[in-house]
């Protein structure tokens, strides 16, 4: 039974001040133990970090030992590092207990850098002790800290304003807090964070206070139950989408699995989210989908979108596809059972049997962006695979996705004649690569490469390459197309008809923009 949390607003505000004065930042922690130990901590290996901390009792080192690694620390060091709250304050809010002269952590409390269009900032997130701190497998009611998937979704959040925001399955509150910072929630906004775990909601309240954020409402319940009858402009969710066999002996972790069979949780989310979206509202989530009996996994997602009683637009990006064995091993290891240890083979077998029973050949993972069209007519339906590495998390994708949606809407307003009358400008991050067969003057392949955004590479022919190269906002698309037709000695109308759909695609991808 986990220790209860008491996110008392006065003590947590004092803690925030103490952490700030102590200089307990992500940079300071990296500095305290160095890059090699830092990488090792990322892999759940604390030995090198503990060695680097040996003999140090300055504030960043004390806090890194206690709250980053989750190791008991002498009370006098803690009282010195946190002079206002001291060890007693930590006990009062439920994130530590006292044992003789030591402070024993009951939660992790880690600094987290944030970089977005508004600049850089520093957050702190409290969450349950992880496997390395516990020295064993996680309990099934574990409340997750900020992980890779959390940061991915945080970076994907659209940077456009939204008045009413909902975070489903908030965990430690990272998505709600990110939405708040993005300015998604204005002064009069409502920001609702839900979870089936009361402990997660308590962590979210504590983390909101720790980061100086007021006004996040926490509500208990499953999926959309806590907000039935309400509508939001933005829904964010890193839902518990992990596919888990429903057989005895397989642990059901609340943080990753909501008890559904197969990929039914993501299907239920997609089918249900339209009801809580205001017209024009968007939902962003991460998810898994199965490839069953020869059916393409993205086709399956298309079916879920089609089954929504409210028309939904969709842009779904598959980032990764795993075969059943790789998926099973990934999630068995995530649960703290390592290869070669007792139980590992039986758990992997349970996953494989479960997949075999449904004819699952592969499992896709990716990003879903859904929108309830304000007009009631769903126009955007884009399902694609982008499996190459994306630019660093330091360049969050949210602004790019918002730009693509705006470009889609602008293009929808234009028929071909109107697009031909528009001027385009090539984006600064686009470069061109030409590949020639040895000794041949004309290129056999021309590629446009995007430096930012989704880092796309698009193969183009000489006509489109010429149009993009001349897209400086001076001449219209039609004028450029006609000039290129003359140069290449081809039919002007045929070339326009060929180029315009591809210009639309380049505008959507952000390689070109409408002047
Ligand atoms: C993968 S964690 C995501 C936590 C956090 N939002 C993030 O991005 O890191 C999923 C969260 O969903 C919660 N959850 C599990 N089942 C749920 C359900 N049926 N409805 C809502 N939330 C649920 C879990 O307790 C957990 O906090």
pLDDT tens per residue across span 232-241: 999 999 999 9
For the CA of 200, the nearest atom of ligand 1: 27
Q: For residue 500, give the 3-state DSSP assignment.
A: helix
**Mean pLDDT across 99-124:** 90
**Mean pLDDT across 90-116:** 95
Listed as own residue / partner, the contacts of 499-502 with beta carbons closer than 8 Å and 24 or more positions apart are 499/463, 499/464, 499/467, 500/416, 500/419, 500/420, 502/460, 502/464
Residue closest via CA to ligand 1's atom 13 equals 169
pLDDT, residue 396, reads 82
Residue closest via CA to ligand 1's atom 20 equals 222
Residue in 277, 281, 279, 513 with CA at minimum distance from that of residue 410: 513
Q: How far apart are CA 426 and CA 251, in angstroms?
A: 52
Q: How far apart are CA 66 and CA 340, in angstroms?
A: 31
Read off the pLDDT band of 48 (50, 70, 90). Answer: very high
318-354 burial: b if 16+ Cβ within 10 Å, else e: beebbebeebbbebbeebbbeeeeeeeeebbebbbeb
pLDDT, residue 61, reads 97
Residue closest via CA to ligand 1's atom 12 equals 169
The string of DSSP codes covering 125-191 is EEEE--HHHHTSPPPTTPPP-S-HHHHHHHHHS--S--SEEEEES-TTSHHHHHHHHTT-S-TT-EE
What spacing in Å lies between the alpha carbon of 170 and ligand 1's midpoint? 6
pLDDT, residue 183, reads 66
Q: Within 10 A of 95 (CB to CB), how many other CB atoms are there?
A: 25
Residue closest via CA to ligand 1's atom 6 equals 170
**Mean pLDDT across 79-99:** 98
Token pair listed for 388 = 């190459």
Read off the pLDDT band of 184 (50, 70, 90). Answer: low
Percent of the chain's residues with pLDDT above 70: 98
Query: Which of 226, 240, 260, 269 is the pocket-test mutation for ligand 1 (most atoms within 8 Å of CB)?
Result: 240
pLDDT, residue 137, reads 83
pLDDT, residue 500, reads 98
Query: Are 48 and 32 contacting, i.e. CB atoms less than 8 angstroms apart?
Result: no
What spacing in Å lies between the alpha carbon of 195 and ligand 1's midpoint? 6
Query: Which of 196, 242, 252 is the pocket-test mutation for ligand 1 (most atoms within 8 Å of CB)?
Result: 196
Token pair 């489903």 is found at 168
Q: How far apart are CA 391 and CA 495, in angstroms?
A: 34
Helix (H) or strand (E) holding 75: helix 75-81
pLDDT tens per residue across span 10-44: 999 999 999 999 999 999 999 999 999 999 999 88
Q: Provide CB contacts within 8 A for 457, sequence distance 6+.
A: 447, 448, 449, 450
Residue closest via CA to ligand 1's atom 26 equals 255
Query: Are 247 and 351 contacting, i.e. CB atoms less than 8 angstroms apart?
Result: no
What spacing in Å lies between the alpha carbon of 174 and ligand 1's midpoint? 11
What spacing in Å lies between the alpha carbon of 232 and ligand 1's midpoint? 19
Lowest mean pLDDT among 127-136, 312-321, 347-356, 417-426: 127-136
What spacing in Å lies between the alpha carbon of 239 and ligand 1's midpoint? 5
pLDDT, residue 119, reads 78
Q: Provide CB contacts within 8 A for 475, sequence distance 6+.
A: 423, 483
pLDDT tens per residue across span 216-255: 999 999 999 999 999 999 999 999 999 999 999 898 999 9
Q: Provide CB contacts within 8 A for 454, sequence distance 6+.
A: 317, 386, 390, 397, 400, 509
Query: Are 510 and 427 contacting, i.e. CB atoms less than 8 angstroms apart?
Result: yes
Strand 277-292 versus strand 232-237 pairing type: parallel
Residue in 104, 171, 111, 91 with CA at minimum distance from that of residue 133: 104
476-495 burial: b if 16+ Cβ within 10 Å, else e: bbbebbbebbeeeeeeeeeb
Q: How far apart are CA 146 and CA 153, in angstroms?
A: 11
Token pair listed for 262 = 């197969």
Indicate if the pLDDT at residue 188 is higher than 50: no
Lowest mean pLDDT among 38-47, 184-193, 215-224, 502-511: 184-193
Average pLDDT value for the chain: 94
Q: How far apart are CA 90 and CA 85, in angstroms?
A: 7
**Mean pLDDT across 368-376:** 96
Residues with CB under 6 A from ligand 1: 144, 150, 153, 168-171, 174-175, 194-197, 200, 222-223, 238-240, 254-256, 258
- Domains annotated for the chain, with CATH where assigned, are 9-116 (no CATH), 148-410 (3.40.50.150), 413-514 (3.90.930)
pLDDT tens per residue across span 448-496: 999 999 999 999 999 999 999 999 999 999 999 999 999 999 999 999 9
What spacing in Å lies between the alpha carbon of 153 and ligand 1's midpoint? 13
Token pair listed for 502 = 């591809």
Indicate if the pLDDT at residue 395 is higher than 80: no
């Amino acid at each position: 039974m986990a220790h209860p949390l008491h996110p008392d607003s006065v003590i947590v505000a004092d803690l925030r001040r103490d952490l700030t004065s102590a200089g307990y930042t992500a940079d300071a922690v990296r500095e305290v133990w160095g890059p090699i130990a830092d990488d090792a901590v990322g892999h759940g290996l604390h030995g090198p970090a503990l060695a680097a901390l040996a003999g140090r009792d300055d504030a960043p080192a004390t806090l890194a030992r206690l709250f980053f690694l989750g190791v008991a620390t002498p009370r006098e060091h803690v009282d010195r590092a946190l002079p206002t709250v001291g060890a007693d304050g930590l006990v009062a809010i439920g994130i530590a207990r006292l044992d003789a002269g030591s402070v024993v952590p009951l939660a992790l409390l880690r600094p987290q850098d944030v970089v977005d269009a508004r600049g850089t900032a520093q957050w702190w997130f409290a969450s349950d002790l992880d496997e390395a701190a516990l020295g064993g497998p996680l309990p099934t009611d574990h409340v997750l800290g900020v992980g890779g998937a959390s940061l991915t979704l945080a970076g994907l959040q659209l940077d456009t304003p939204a008045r009413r925001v909902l975070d489903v399955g908030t965990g430690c509150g990272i998505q709600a807090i990110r939405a708040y910072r993005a300015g998604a929630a204005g002064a009069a906004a409502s920001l609702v964070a839900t979870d089936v775990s009361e402990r997660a909601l308590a962590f979210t309240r504590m983390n909101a206070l720790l980061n100086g954020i007021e006004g996040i409402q926490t509500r208990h319940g499953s999926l959309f139950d806590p907000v039935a009858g309400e509508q939001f402009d933005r829904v964010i969710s890193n839902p518990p989408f992990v596919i888990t066999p429903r057989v005895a002996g397989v642990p059901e972790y609340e943080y990753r699995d909501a008890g559904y069979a197969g990929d039914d949780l993501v299907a239920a989310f997609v089918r249900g989210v339209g009801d809580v979206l205001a017209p024009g509202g968007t939902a962003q989530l991460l998810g898994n989908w199965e490839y069953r009996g020869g059916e393409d996994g993205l086709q399956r997602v298309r079916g879920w979108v089609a089954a929504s009683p409210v028309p939904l637009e969709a842009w779904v990006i598959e980032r990764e596809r795993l075969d059943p064995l790789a998926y099973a091993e990934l999630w068995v290891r995530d649960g703290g059972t390592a290869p070669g240890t007792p139980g590992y083979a039986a758990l992997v077998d349970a996953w494989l049997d479960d997949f075999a029973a449904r004819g699952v050949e592969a499992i896709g993972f990716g990003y879903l962006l859904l929108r309830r069209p304000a007009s009631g007519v769903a126009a955007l339906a884009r399902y694609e695979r982008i499996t190459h590495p994306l630019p660093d998390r330091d360049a969050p994708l949210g602004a790019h996705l918002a730009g693509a949606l705006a470009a889609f809407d602008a293009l929808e307003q234009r028929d071909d004649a109107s697009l031909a009358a528009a001027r385009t400008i090539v984006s600064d991050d686009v470069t061109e690569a030409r590949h020639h067969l040895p000794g041949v003057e004309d290129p056999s392949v021309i590629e446009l490469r995007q430096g930012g955004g989704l880092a796309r590479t698009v193969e183009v022919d000489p006509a489109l390459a010429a149009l993009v190269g001349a897209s400086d906002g001076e001449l219209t698309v039609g004028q450029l197309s006609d000039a290129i037709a003359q140069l290449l000695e081809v039919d002007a109308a045929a070339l326009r008809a060929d180029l315009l759909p591809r210009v639309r695609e380049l505008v959507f991808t952000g390689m070109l923009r409408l002047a």
